[in-house]
């Protein structure tokens, strides 16, 4: 796109009411289950601001992407790098391998990402072989871990057959 047609940075004030924003499935190359609420996107600088939700038991594989993101835990748990993050805690990820992140009891967070392509690149075999480090603290988390682990086993079996 010629410079005269480039999008301009959006500096307008925004108000987004949580009850009016919709959760949508988000395909950034991760296993199914990630949902987001887009709060603001600025294509001129490749920045997006979202709420994110991972279901109980979800494991976000070790990955890279072309850009950075930061996350503040709002609800649930995010287990990363040997740390059990709770509401109010913060994590930053750059374009170098990071993760896996575990969400044994589910998770909701606030994230800002910046990058033209935030598609996650990861090794499925590494995720299928991964051993959980964190145990759920809730019955919903236990059921979620069982369901996600069953999905991982099924994916591993399907990949062996192909």
| 19 pLDDT above the threshold of 90 | yes
Query: If pLDDT is split at 50, 70 and 90, which confidence band does 8 have?
Result: confident
What does pTM read for this prediction? 0.89
Domain ranges in the chain are: 7-161
The reported pLDDT for the residue numbered 79 is: 97
Q: How far is CA 138 from the centre of its chain?
A: 21
Please give the average per-residue pLDDT across 139-145, as a whole number. 98
Q: What is the CATH number of domain 7-161?
A: 2.60.120.10
HEC readout, the chain? CCHHHCCCCCCCCCCCCHHHCCCEECCCCCCCCCEEEEEEEECCCCEEEEEEEECCCEEECCEEEEEEEEEEEEEECEEECCEEECCCCEEEECCCCECCEEECCCEEEEEEEEEEEEEEECCHHHHHHCCCCCCCCCHHHHHHHHHHHHHHHHHHHHHHHC
The residue assigned the tokens 């709420």 is 51
Give residue-wise pLDDT tens across range 52-98: 999 999 999 999 999 999 999 999 999 998 999 999 999 998 888 99
């Amino acid at each position: 796109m010629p410079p005269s047609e480039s999008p301009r940075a959006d500096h307008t004030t925004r108000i987004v009411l949580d009850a009016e924003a919709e959760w949508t499935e988000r395909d950034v190359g991760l296993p199914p289950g990630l949902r987001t609420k887009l709060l603001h996107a600025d294509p001129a600088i490749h920045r997006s601001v979202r709420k994110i939700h991972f279901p109980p038991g979800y494991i976000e594989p070790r990955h890279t992407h072309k850009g950075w993101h930061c996350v503040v835990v709002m609800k649930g748990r995010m287990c990363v790098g040997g740390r059990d993050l709770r509401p109010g805690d913060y994590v930053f990820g750059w374009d170098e391998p990071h993760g896996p992140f575990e969400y044994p009891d589910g998770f909701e967070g606030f994230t800002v990402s910046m990058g033209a392509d935030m598609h996650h690149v990861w090794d499925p075999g590494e995720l299928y072989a991964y051993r959980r480090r964190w145990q759920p603290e809730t019955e919903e988390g236990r059921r979620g871990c069982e369901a996600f682990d069953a999905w991982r086993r099924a994916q591993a079996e399907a990949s062996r057959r192909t």
